[in-house]
Amino acid sequence: MRITGTFLDEISHDIPHQNWGEAEWRKDFAAMKAIGIDTVIQIRCGHRRFITFPSKVLMEKHDCYLPPVDLTDLFLRLADEFDMKFFFGLYDSGYYWIHNKCQQELDISRAVADEVWQKYGHYKSFGGWYLCWEISRTYAGMVNLYHDLGMHLKDISNNLPTMISPCIAGIKCDPNNVATIEEHQRTWDNIMAGISGAVDIVAFQDGHCDYDELADYLILNKELADRHGLKSWTNCESIDRDMPWRFPPIKWEKMLLKLEAARKAQLDKAITFEFSHFISPNSMYPSAGHLYNRYKEYFGL
């Protein structure tokens, strides 16, 4: 099971920024392409006041800062150049959806999506939408947010695919509030029923449970997704969640265990969070470059 997609962690809220310009990003897209990555997912177009593109909606109505460079445009140009699909991540207010105000989050995102589609919808690489809010359990209003926004996105973009990437409520998520696999099943059966038709792809983050529990979760996720007509991808995290600081690149052995679990569950596709800090030879962390080499060796690339 190979990784063929990656998030682009802009705007980050907990990963240090690498301060790359266009030349560095182009070099990194080439490194992605070299190991078979065909899909890039901008993780969000904004978080609180920082945004990836000069959005009128976000600057005029939500006090966001004018960014020094239009990263969304840059990513789309590079995706065109390297023949990849680009998923656009929506805006995370960092406020409304976690304060029971999902309607406001929806209103903002609808306006942003309209602006984005008009501005960037012509790029041939524009291939989907990413609904950026990450949940592990039922969360007041989130099913409606996913559903109504998903329908709107598909409506304006000729039915482009929509994706979410939730967490498994395992021991590395909130150790004081771990869901059993039965709870996980009930929760996600309900959520998927509610978003079916509006969200096409569910790519669970694979880093919050223990390595030996993962295959069971992934098999279950696939069953649930199949039942509700969704595609099941895995978000094979390349950050190491077992270390004392957040986050170094993962140990290759751990990534391999997780890819094996995904293979066993016969998932449709593996993406990762994320290439540029944690697998790339261009990363600020040299151990990411060594992970790149281990990955290439293993798959004979």
Which residue ranges make up the site for its own copies (CB under 8 A)?
13-21, 24, 49-50, 63, 65, 67-68, 211-212, 240, 242-246, 248-253, 256-257, 283-287, 290-291, 293-294, 297-298
We find the least distance from the C-beta atom of residue 286 to its own copies, in angstroms, to be 4
We find the least distance from the C-beta atom of residue 68 to its own copies, in angstroms, to be 5
We find the least distance from the C-beta atom of residue 97 to its own copies, in angstroms, to be 20
53 vs 146 by CB, closer to its own copies: 53
Give the bridge partners for 6, in sequence order.
40, 272
We find the least distance from the C-beta atom of residue 121 to its own copies, in angstroms, to be 26
Strand order in the sheet with 50-51: 50-51, 46-47, 91-92
We find the least distance from the C-beta atom of residue 282 to its own copies, in angstroms, to be 9
User: CA of 173: how far to CAs of 1, 241, 265, in Å?
Assistant: 25, 10, 22
Q: Are strands 3-8 and 85-89 parallel, antiparallel or unpaired?
A: unpaired
87 vs 292 by CB, closer to its own copies: 292
Q: Rounded distance, CA 168 to CA 2, Å?
A: 21
Q: Are strands 126-130 and 91-92 parallel, antiparallel or unpaired?
A: unpaired
Q: Rounded distance, CA 197 to CA 247, Å?
A: 35
18 vs 234 by CB, closer to its own copies: 18
123 vs 285 by CB, closer to its own copies: 285
Are 277 and 283 contacting, i.e. CB atoms less than 8 angstroms apart?
yes
194 vs 248 by CB, closer to its own copies: 248
